[in-house]
Chain A
Amino acid sequence: MGKLTSYSVVIFVILNLIISQCNALYEDQIGLFDWRKKFVGKIKFGHFDATNADKAIIATDENVLAAISSKNGDILWRKVFEKENTRGEIKFLHVTKNSKSVTSYNEQNPFDVITVNGYNPILFRGWDMNNGNLIWEWAITPTTTNPEESMFFFNEFNIYHVLPVWNSHIEVTEYHASTGQPTKSTSSMISAGWINKDRCVLSSQYFACVVKEQLLVLDLLAETNNIRTKALESPATLIKVLRGQDNYIQVGRQVISLDDLKIVFENRDDDEVYIENSNILKLTQSNKNLKITSDEQEVTELNDLPETLDNNLQIITSKCKPKRENPNQLACRLLVSTDDGALALIQQGKIKWIREEALTKITAVEFLELSLSDAQGAMEEELNNADADILSSMYRRLHSQYSTVKNIVLQVLGLGAPPSFSQRAGLVRDDFGLHKMMVIMTQSGKLFGIDNVSGKQHWVKILKNFEGFANGQSAKLLIQRTSKYYPHPAQCAIIAKDKNTGNGILYQFNPISGQSIDKGVMNLNFKIQYASLLHEQGENFLRGILLVDDKNNVHVLPETSLKQVDGFFLYTVNKPSGILTGFLLQYDEKTNTANMMPTWTVNLGGTDNEQKITHIASKNAIERVHSQGRVLADRSVLYKYINPNLIAVVTEGPDSIHKYILNVYLIDVVSGAVVFSMSHRRAKGPVKIVHSENWLVYSFYNEKIRRNEITSIELYEGKVQTNSTTWSSLNSPPVPLVERQTYIFSSTIAALRETITEKGITNKHVLMGLETGSVLEMPWMLLDPRRQSMVPPEKQREEGIIPYIPELVVQHENIINYNQTIARINGIYTAPSGLESTCLVLVYGLDLFVTRVSPSKTFDLLKEDFDYFLISTVLIGLITASYVVKHLAAKKTIKQAWK
């Protein structure tokens, strides 16, 4: 035992030495090249605080409760509930309207903010409005079949749980809000056979339903359950609760007050209606123009509505008071939200701030290099014609110099050509390629162009009727051309599904300026089964888009590139059944069509199709592998098995003996060969996986020992390389040697990603997003499957291999986002920069975090703490010293000559 501990101490010391080599941040680098933006999600409920409306309490569809400053839109505090709706979904939010009780709470007024979360159990909580701390909490476990239908309302000190059992009865239970004590011994049952799921609403204490041509209203607080009815002019289909004041609903186009069942407003144009203090605010939106009126009196008008808000604006909450100069008119502070989740505050006809809450649901990201500056572009143009003769080159050279001089003179005089868009916006490529444009696609179809250095949002585009594909596949964001091909601008494409028809949508745009190319959104007349870029560039360096429709017809855009699909291999996956199918595309010259030929099928479903495909990991298409092998202790080379066609497929499923089984397959998608497979018993997800170069790393939960584990696999060809120039999956490639190792990891991993650099010379680290909100940079050295538990004798010891210890320790220095935690990490995106040492990182989830990492330290850049002062003093000192010494020496020789 003693031997063992001393052994582990030695290992620990070695480990520490290695880790200490690893690069961590310095404290003064905070915020130097990283930034974080916090979000809350699309608003569901929102209220201003009662005293002076300087903050808004909001509840969102991301199950977040937050207080937002009215001044600048900052988050004052935020509470993130469980992601799963059974416990986390916010069902009800009450913010006290009595301004006296806001600052202090006591037994009489024991609450500022009340939330009700989830349906099984239902959690009731009271919060302190000022700091967001919890004041009281209680829960009930509902005992009925449909607890998710629960509705709630608040009255005086009590909270009421209303549970409709459709076509039967309503169950109402009354609780004392702060203690959770039921005020009556039983809940009251109100039989109401007329209630119907889609035609009933609850507005405060009134339960209102539309039944044929009648509106039936039930007062749940009344002692006797008498139902009031009101005849409607025509059978209405729409019934909804209006935001703002309680007890107002809209039935069809009529706004009805539930207190007296009077029609208070006729909404003829079907606009958005909001009620505040019996004032009806009507919101009309057309063509970038927003008008809010009350009783034909204008409250607010915005003529140049920004594009980001141009998506079904709704008033969430307001605070109005009569204007001083004209008491008939209202001055309002309005909190508005769009369909995609953009939240804005409008006051005095101005937009004070906008929050882009669509960014909580990012589905795809690309980093794009910026375009050249005007001067660089001119130079590029000059060098472009390589095949010209000497004279014309000479002419071009002189001409470009002349135009440069001319431009300078004109610029000085203020007569020059106006700078290009990117020049004006500061979107110009920098020396090290660290400044890029992040193109972000969100679930709602809102696109963003965000600067990765400043975090500034340069453009936004809303795609209407946009939807992701079936089986949880998001829409596709493809880069057809990067910014490298001056003068051609970069071009991206988005392929999605039309919400209404189910057909494909194609949108092509310039990712730097955000402008659409050609016709803008193109509606395709077929459903998309498969979409990808072609491998080769076509005309103008543009890569074509390959689309396969649901009838296996091949489409290529632009159509002139159809020839290029010949010999294109592709595969499709049926996730639920676990079947992968490979296809080969062939171009038929006679008919000018391409057809798809199935080449192989692999069924990973297992017996009874219990195994479902949960993850597919392919390698990054832009990845380059610099080093082809690994030098062993005896100076021989072990060559890596680098197969670009290899994908990893994870299947999970239940098992009668082992409870859960998790399988991992490595499949060559050109030949359909299963190169390697592994099976983990009693292991289940969530699986996170990353596949790069010749290795694979994945994390899973070991159900047997109840801990998280990480497995790493490395593939080697052996000591001889079969073909060093080209890889062919069809010429019976070698069976790889497999190294594997599993490690224990104490945290749960929410996202995995490898770092990537331009040439692949820099070491690869694995970035791990943890559920706790940290992002850990794990050196590959620690995950290396060649780590052995037996320490080999000195001669056989390989370079850079540390002895195996089962647990991977989270080193706090390796947390790249230090204390800037990111709530609910969903994914990590990495992109190479112009510097070989540096990799750009975007972590997204509920929050956004952008930073850069340099896995092998910044070897190609002077350190920022480089001591310029020291080196210059030393240099100056040496120069002066040498002059002084020279002078002295001369003196001495003269003296000696006189002797």
Chain B
Amino acid sequence: MNEVFAQDIKIKTQSMHVYQIEGKVLKPKSLNNDSFKNMIQETEIVINSGKYKGFLKDDGTFVIKCVQPGSYLLEVVSSKYVYEPVKIEINNRGKIRARKVNNMQPFQVILLQYPLKLKTNATYNFFQKREHWKITDIIFSPMVLMMIVPLILLILLQKSMNNSGFKNEMENLQLPNFDSSDNFPDVTKMFSNLIDRTQQKQLNHRLKNCIYK
């Protein structure tokens, strides 16, 4: 009988040092009180991926009881809101501090407020946006632009040619005794006319000679 109690005391002293982690999950701004209650129903606090678990009260507070000294990773598991994980360190004297998690630089210490105030900064985005077909997509695609712009230019140019005295000028340029079987103006000639009239005349003579030889 006495032995049993002696053992009891020993265990008592060993398991005395347990502490509790406290905190509060703050209400996301977009939610009202009722929907926050629903959110709480689906949210839980997980420490070291399930070694300890905490459950939220209606106001978002949680307490994880009887945690032994050590270093822990605390996560808020919610299927909708993203919360940053927090590193909790409890030393042997029961002092608790909360740190930002940085896996890349594990020795860098950025302290966080304790008792924890956990704020969400985003919602999960699991989905890709579907691309909808729009008329503008086609119009502004490079292929279409490449086809349409020269087309418009061509029309515009023709119009401007019609309107101005340019056309008359061009007609003047043309030599009267050209072969009339061909209605279309010789493009090469037209442009070369533009370049240099005198040269053009000489060239024409030469060409004529060539043709009528």
Contacts and interface: CB of A to CB of B under 8 A. Distances in A.
Nearest to B17: A141
Interface of B: 1, 4, 7-9, 11-12, 15-16, 18, 37-38, 40-41, 44, 46, 49-53, 55-58, 62-63, 65-66, 71, 73, 75, 77, 79-80, 82, 85, 101, 103-104, 106, 124-131, 133
A128 B40 CA distance: 12
Given A706-B71, A807-B103, A819-B79, A134 B56 contact: yes
A134 B59 CA distance: 10
Interface in A246-282: none
26 contacts: A24-B128, A25-B126, A28-B130, A80-B44, A87-B52, A87-B53, A88-B53, A132-B41, A133-B41, A133-B57, A143-B12, A168-B4, A705-B103, A706-B106, A707-B103, A746-B101, A771-B49, A772-B77, A812-B125, A812-B126, A813-B125, A813-B127, A815-B126, A819-B124, A821-B77, A821-B79
A345 to B, nearest CB: 23
A870 interface: yes
Contacts of B71: 706
A872 B195 CA distance: 51
Given A128-B58, A137-B63, A819-B80, 19 more contacts: A80-B44, A84-B51, A87-B52, A88-B53, A131-B38, A133-B55, A133-B57, A134-B55, A135-B58, A138-B65, A139-B65, A143-B15, A145-B4, A746-B101, A747-B49, A812-B124, A813-B127, A818-B126, A824-B50
Contacts of A820: 79
A165 B50 contact: no
A899 to B, nearest CB: 12
Interface in A210-266: none
A623 B38 CA distance: 45
A748 B49 contact: yes
Contacts of B128: 23-26, 813
A813 B126 contact: yes
Given A134-B57, A819-B80, A145 B126 contact: no
A851 B187 CA distance: 66
Contact residues of A: prevailing secondary structure:
loop
Contact of B104 (A77, A121, A706, A807): A807
A233 B129 CA distance: 77
B203 to A, nearest CB: 34
A133 B58 contact: yes
A168 B3 CA distance: 12
A78 to B, nearest CB: 9
A867 interface: yes
Contacts of A145: 4, 7-8, 11
B18 A771 contact: no
Contacts of B77: 772-773, 821
A744 interface: yes
Interface string A812-835: 110100111100100000000000
B57 A168 contact: no
Contacts of B131: 865
A81 B127 CA distance: 30
A81 B65 contact: no
A148 interface: no
A789 interface: no
Interface in A839-880: 865, 867, 870
A733 interface: no
A660 to B, nearest CB: 16
A163 to B, nearest CB: 11
A168 B8 contact: no
B53 A82 contact: yes
Nearest to A770: B49
Interface string A67-94: 0000000000101111110011000000
Contacts of B44: 79-80
B46 A771 contact: yes
A25 B127 contact: yes
A125 interface: yes
The list of the 8 closest CB pairs from A to B, nearest first, reads A771-B49, A748-B49, A139-B65, A121-B66, A818-B126, A819-B79, A24-B128, A27-B127
A863 to B, nearest CB: 10
Q: A132, A133, A806 — which one has the most chain B CB atoms within 10 A of its CB? A: A133
A172 to B, nearest CB: 16
B127 A168 contact: no
Contact of B127 (A84, A128, A818): A818
B130 A26 contact: yes
Nearest to A744: B103
A392 interface: no
Contact of B11 (A79, A139, A144): A144
Nearest to A123: B65
A336 B169 CA distance: 104
Contact of A168 (B1, B7, B104): B1
A139 B101 CA distance: 29
Contacts of A865: 130-131
